[in-house]
């Protein structure tokens, strides 16, 4: 007898879509095949639905003090919103300031995440390269935390890593089988441009994007890649937005550099025209939203394998936090100053729907590719495969049932992210998660959350060395 049988769905992996049943015992997948309904204590009929491995979000910032703000959600609330988007595991970053121990901060973060309804993990973060900080890298890897984030910008916020820190972290990460993750934007280019705007007294939302153009990202991207080649280590670049950077990646891949590139659904579906709106500050995120041209370049990168990962970079701030340092003019409109707006937009709940709709329903990519981009590849490169990221015997029974015919108009009212606006308001999607199952238990069913606060567990991770030695996740 099995605890659960999911019957007659199309079971999706990166390489196949097979109509079969999935049997679950306790928290694990017991088998795939054909089972009689009498063999299951509970049977879920999944005719016509696709069954994918639960989405893994490896890029979000929840309860993360930044630019004077904290975010709208507690970790429990974030996990509920995530579950509605098919997410069954997520990872956040240690909060770091100069003088902090990366290890202590990472463990503190894991502790904060205990209230999550879904499994979780943490990335270390580096803002300096003192001998003590570098020594923490091995200790973190030993404790199942083999990924280390650095920012190439945000100097004023005190979280930028200089070149030396990057090189030292790269070197040590290589020694312990770890992987640096880098936010690539040139602080120098951005700050110089911002100074010019200040001189002209034009700090409009539109100028935010102009201060951080493609070249600002592409220069830092190339520098990070050269550093990785210099040290001979692997590198993961988060939230890449444009073809200029992708061309650098292609050249690196030709040389065999294990460079893993992530993009986010907002860069595929939202554009810089939002900065022309009165409430354009709600769309301020870094790197900035770009144009449809860059989005088309990203779709190419997804198709040709230059981009193997997606992440939402979720930073859910409500209007009050996005606006808290702004003033209004006598006519009631904003006195625009983009330097007074916290960077970040919400997205954890809509990453899968947007990829299903804009990707699969529009014929750009297959559902198998979506499986890779939202789950399998994430589990592999972040080191929790095959416990996560695949529907196979002995893997965790983390599953998301998808109805490719379901049409939803995105709006603040249909999402569960605790904020009073939605940048995708009115955006129609076709293809939506209709049930989320984590470790064999139903988390979301028929629009209702059925999970439990604190049910999430810390997942220790270890990266397969072959992914760090050469490019590719096969």
Residues that bind ligand DUC (CB under 6 A): 61, 66, 183, 285-286, 313, 315, 343-344
Partner touching 248 among Zn ion, ligand DUC, none, CB below 5 to 8 Å by kind: none
| Cβ-based neighbour number of residue 99 at 10 Å | 10
Considering only residues 80 to 119 of the shown chain, the ones binding Zn ion according to CB under 5 A are none
Q: Which of 437, 318, 418 is nearest to 77 (CA)?
A: 418
DSSP 160: B
Q: Which is nearer to ligand DUC, 183 or 369 (CB)?
A: 183
Q: Which is nearer to ligand DUC, 81 or 343 (CB)?
A: 343
- Torsion, Cα 241 153 262 205, to 10 degrees, reads -40
- Whether omega for the bond prior to residue 287 falls within 30 degrees of 0, making it cis, is yes
| Nearest distance in Å: CB 318, ligand DUC | 15
The answer to whether 448 and 355 are in contact (CB under 8 A) is no
In the set 7, 183, 281, 369, which binds Zn ion (CB under 5 A)? 183
Q: From residue 299 to residue 338, what is the string marking binding to Zn ion with x (rule CB under 5 A)?
A: --------------x-------------------------
Q: Counting contacts by CB under 5 A, is residue 351 touching Zn ion? A: no
| Cβ-based neighbour number of residue 303 at 10 Å | 14
User: SS3 for 95?
Assistant: coil
Q: Which is nearer to ligand DUC, 12 or 315 (CB)?
A: 315
| Nearest distance in Å: CB 238, ligand DUC | 8
Q: Which is nearer to Zn ion, 177 or 213 (CB)?
A: 213
Q: Which of 305, 379, 344, 342 is nearest to 87 (CA)?
A: 379
DSSP 388: S
**What's the token pair of residue 69?**
């703000």
Q: Which is nearer to Zn ion, 125 or 183 (CB)?
A: 183
Which sign does the torsion angle of CA 378, 380, 385, 386 carry?
A: positive
The answer to whether 89 and 119 are in contact (CB under 8 A) is yes
| Nearest distance in Å: CB 183, Zn ion | 4
| Nearest distance in Å: CB 74, ligand DUC | 18
User: SS3 for 88?
Assistant: strand
Q: Which residue has the tokens 């954890």?
A: 348
Binding range to Zn ion, per CB under 5 A, among 176-184, 245-253, 427-435, 462-470: 176-184
Q: Which is nearer to ligand DUC, 117 or 345 (CB)?
A: 345
Q: Which is nearer to ligand DUC, 325 or 449 (CB)?
A: 325
Distance from C-alpha of 37 to C-alpha of 16, rounded to nearest angstrom: 24
Q: Which is nearer to ligand DUC, 32 or 315 (CB)?
A: 315
Partner touching 82 among ligand DUC, Zn ion, none, CB below 5 to 8 Å by kind: none
The answer to whether 306 and 246 are in contact (CB under 8 A) is yes
DSSP 285: -
Partner touching 344 among Zn ion, ligand DUC, none, CB below 5 to 8 Å by kind: ligand DUC
Q: Give exposure, 37-48, as e/b (b: 16+ Cβ within 10 Å).
A: eeebeebbebee
Partner touching 325 among Zn ion, ligand DUC, none, CB below 5 to 8 Å by kind: none
Q: Which is nearer to ligand DUC, 125 or 461 (CB)?
A: 125
Partner touching 343 among ligand DUC, Zn ion, none, CB below 5 to 8 Å by kind: ligand DUC
Q: Which residues lie closer than 8 Å to 363 by C-beta, 6 or more apart?
A: none
Residue number closest to Zn ion, CB atom: 183
Partner touching 285 among Zn ion, ligand DUC, none, CB below 5 to 8 Å by kind: ligand DUC
Q: What residue ranges bind Zn ion (CB under 5 A)?
A: 183, 313
């Amino acid at each position: 007898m099995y605890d659960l049988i999911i019957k007659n769905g199309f079971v999706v992996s990166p390489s196949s879509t097979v109509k079969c049943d999935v049997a679950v015992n306790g928290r694990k997948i017991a088998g795939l095949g054909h089972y009689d309904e009498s063999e299951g204590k509970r049977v879920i009929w999944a005719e016509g639905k696709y069954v994918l491995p639960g989405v893994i979000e490896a890029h979000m910032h929840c309860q993360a003090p930044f630019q004077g703000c904290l975010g709208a959600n507690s970790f429990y609330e974030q996990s509920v919103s995530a579950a509605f988007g098919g997410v069954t595991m997520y990872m956040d970053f240690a909060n770091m300031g100069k003088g902090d121990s990366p290890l202590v901060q990472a463990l503190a973060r894991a502790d904060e995440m205990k209230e999550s309804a879904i499994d979780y993990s943490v990335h270390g973060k580096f803002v300096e390269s003192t001998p003590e900080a570098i020594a923490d890298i091995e200790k973190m890897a030993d404790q199942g935390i083999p990924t280390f984030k650095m920012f190439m910008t945000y100097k004023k916020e005190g979280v930028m890593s200089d070149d030396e820190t990057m090189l030292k972290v790269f070197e040590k990460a290589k020694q312990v089988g770890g992987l640096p993750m880098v936010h690539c934007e040139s602080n120098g280019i951005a700050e110089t441009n911002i100074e010019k705007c200040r001189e002209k007294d034009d700090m409009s939302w539109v100028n935010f994007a102009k201060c951080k153009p493609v070249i600002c990202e592409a220069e830092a991207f190339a520098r990070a890649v050269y550093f990785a080649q210099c040290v001979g280590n692997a590198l993961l670049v988060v939230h890449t937005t444009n073809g200029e950077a992708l061309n650098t990646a292609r050249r690196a891949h030709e040389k065999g550099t294990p460079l893993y590139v992530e993009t986010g659904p907002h860069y595929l579906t939202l554009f810089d025209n939002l900065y022309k709106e009165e409430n354009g500050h709600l769309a301020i995120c870094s790197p900035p939203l770009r144009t449809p041209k860059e989005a088309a370049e990203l779709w190419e990168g997804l198709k040709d394998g230059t981009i193997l990962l997606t992440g939402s970079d979720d930073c859910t701030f409500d209007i009050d936090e996005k606006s808290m340092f702004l003033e209004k003019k006598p006519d009631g409109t904003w006195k625009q100053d983009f330097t007074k707006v916290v960077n970040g937009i919400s997205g954890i709940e809509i990453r899968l729907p947007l990829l299903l709709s804009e990707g699969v329903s529009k014929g750009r990519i297959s559902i198998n590719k979506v499986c890779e981009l939202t789950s399998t590849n994430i589990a592999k490169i972040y080191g929790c495969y095959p416990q996560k990221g695949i529907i196979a015997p002995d893997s965790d029974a983390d599953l998301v049932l998808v109805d490719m015919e379901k049409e939803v108009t995105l709006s603040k009212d249909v999402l569960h992210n605790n904020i009073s606006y939605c940048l995708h308001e009115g955006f129609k999607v076709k293809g939506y998660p209709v049930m989320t199952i984590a470790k064999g238990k139903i988390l979301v069913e028929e629009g209702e959350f059925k999970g439990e606060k604190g049910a999430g567990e810390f997942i220790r991770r270890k990266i397969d060395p072959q992914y760090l030695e050469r490019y590719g996740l096969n």
